[in-house]
Amino acid sequence: MRDALGEVQSVLVLGGGSDIGRALVVRLASRRCHTVILAGRPEDDMEPVAEAARRAGATTVEMVHWEATDVASHEKGDR
């Protein structure tokens, strides 16, 4: 989601424990992104990425265990 000036306010990162995910959230949080949701496999260590996001300025950081290949575990939306 973007604010009135076009800056990202919140972001969902799939692969939240990855180096790319870390670089993305640090860059966005340092600009004005305040809400970060990290989604990744249970074995991924997302806590260091979450901490880096907080240090960069994110005020809300959540972590969700999510496996892309386990389709049966995905919730179905009513949209």
Domain boundaries, the chain: 10-68
Coil, strand or helix: which one is 64?
strand
Tens-place pLDDT, residues 2-60 = 666 677 789 999 999 999 999 999 999 999 899 999 999 877 889 999 999 999 999 99
Instruction: Report the C-alpha gap between 59 and 53 in whole angstroms.
Output: 9
Distance CA 3, CA 78 (A): 27
Contact 12, 39 (CB under 8 A): yes
From CA 59, how far away is CA 10, in angstroms rounded?
10
pLDDT, tens digit (0-9, with 9 covering 90-100), for 3-19: 666 777 899 999 999 99
